[in-house]
Amino acid sequence: MKKQGRGIATIMFGFGYGEGFPDHAIASAEIEEGGKILIRTAAADVGQGVLTIITQIAAEVLKVKPEAIRIIPGDTHLTKNSGSSSATRQTFFTGNAVKEASEGLLSNIYHYASIEFRSNHVELGIKDGYIFRNDNPKNKLSYWELAERVKERGDSLKAEASFFPRTDIPDPKTGQGKKVYVAYTFVTQVIEVEVDTDTGIVEVLNVYTAADIGKAINPKNVEGQIEGGTVQGIGMALMEEQVIKEGITLNPDLTSYLIPTSMDTPHFATLLVENEDSEGPFGAKGIGEPATIATTPAIANAIYDAIGVRIYHLPITPEKILKALKEENKRGNKEGF
């Protein structure tokens, strides 16, 4: 018999390394020849989209099209430390460093342009990479022309910045600390499943997600993270297990270690809670890891809702479900503990 159920899970994730670790990111922005603005960062784009996020932030601050932004490929000798692409930290850390470096560059553009135009700052306007006096917008200088003039003065148009928030080392005896993590991301998922009580197979039907991410720099990208993270969570909940017996992995391949495929992907509805009240760039918080965390418990709770048995050892395989149902029938209908 097929039985449907629905489960909910709400999670938190303290992001950044925290715990007093000297976690920081350095970035720089400079006007380069060929009509581009060069951003230097070592932030690794593992597919999560940090290079896109940085491009949007720099374009926003510097008032140019995203196409004008060039990010140097990661290289220990051409970039400074941006910290790791982990701990859900790059949008927050490198995003802030790039925002501040871009603001530094913009300030210098104003500074040198005010010399060129013999004006004060409030009389200057900026649009799409050009700077001009508001009373004569036709007489404009591109950032790149301005950079040439600055070069003639023996200087250059660039700025470097870093983001280095303080956190506290928790007390070793109690784990207590004033600021252990820079901030928390929160996610709630409601997940609907269908359990086949004859085969024990669980199908995940619908996933409803609301995520408090402060502000989405790129909403589509956040949704992508949530969908990918959820599918990874479906794997953890229902099928994935590297079986290691006496130190030997019994299933070191993808025919016997199962991961979800597109056929296992449910329907998604996602809503972003954006209060823009975090210390991240434009109020953003990270979503990378929180995207996967609520899924497994929401599925476990949905299975309980569907068939009245609870599985305490992951993954919740068909075999475990059938065994639990069998025991449940013997015992009568009580919560499984």
Instruction: Indicate which residues carry an active-site annotation.
Output: 289
Number of residues this chain uses to bind another protein (CB under 8 A): 125
Q: Closer to another protein by CB, 7 or 200: give it.
A: 7
* Residues 250-269 within binding reach of another protein (CB under 8 A): 252-254, 257, 259, 269
Site string for another protein, 278-317 (x = CB under 8 A): xx-xxx-x--xxxxxxx-xxx-xx--x-----x-xxxx--
- Determine, following the binding rule CB under 8 A, whether residue 127 of this chain makes contact with another protein: no
What is the smallest separation between the CB atom of 41 and another protein, expressed in angstroms? 10
Quickly count: other Cβ atoms within 10 Å of residue 213's Cβ.
27
**Rounded distance between C-alpha atoms, residue 235 and residue 57, angstroms:** 34
Only segment of 30-38, 73-81, 136-144, 145-153 that touches another protein (CB under 8 A)? 73-81
The alpha-carbon radius of gyration of the chain (Å, integer) is 26
Question: Where on the phi/psi map is residue 17: left (φ > 0), alpha (ψ -120 to 50), or beta?
Answer: alpha
- Pick the binder of another protein from 27, 87, 147, 306 (CB under 8 A): 87
Task: Please identify, using beta-carbon distances, which residue of 149 and 323 lies nearer to another protein.
Answer: 323
Residue 151 beta carbon to another protein: minimum distance, rounded to whole angstroms: 28
C-alpha torsion 32→125→161→217, nearest 10 = -100
Q: Of 74 and 104, which has the nearer Cβ to another protein?
A: 74
Q: Which two tokens stand for residue 213?
A: 């991410």
Q: How many CB atoms lie within 10 A of CB 73?
A: 10
- Positions in 175-234 near another protein (CB under 8 A): 175-181, 183-184, 186-190, 192, 206, 208-212, 214-221, 229, 232-233
Q: Is 241 in the site for another protein (CB under 8 A)?
A: yes
- Tell me the DSSP string of 215-266: --SSHHHHHHHHHHHHHHHHHHHHT----EETTEES--STTTS----GGG--
Residue 236 to residue 230: CA distance in whole angstroms = 10
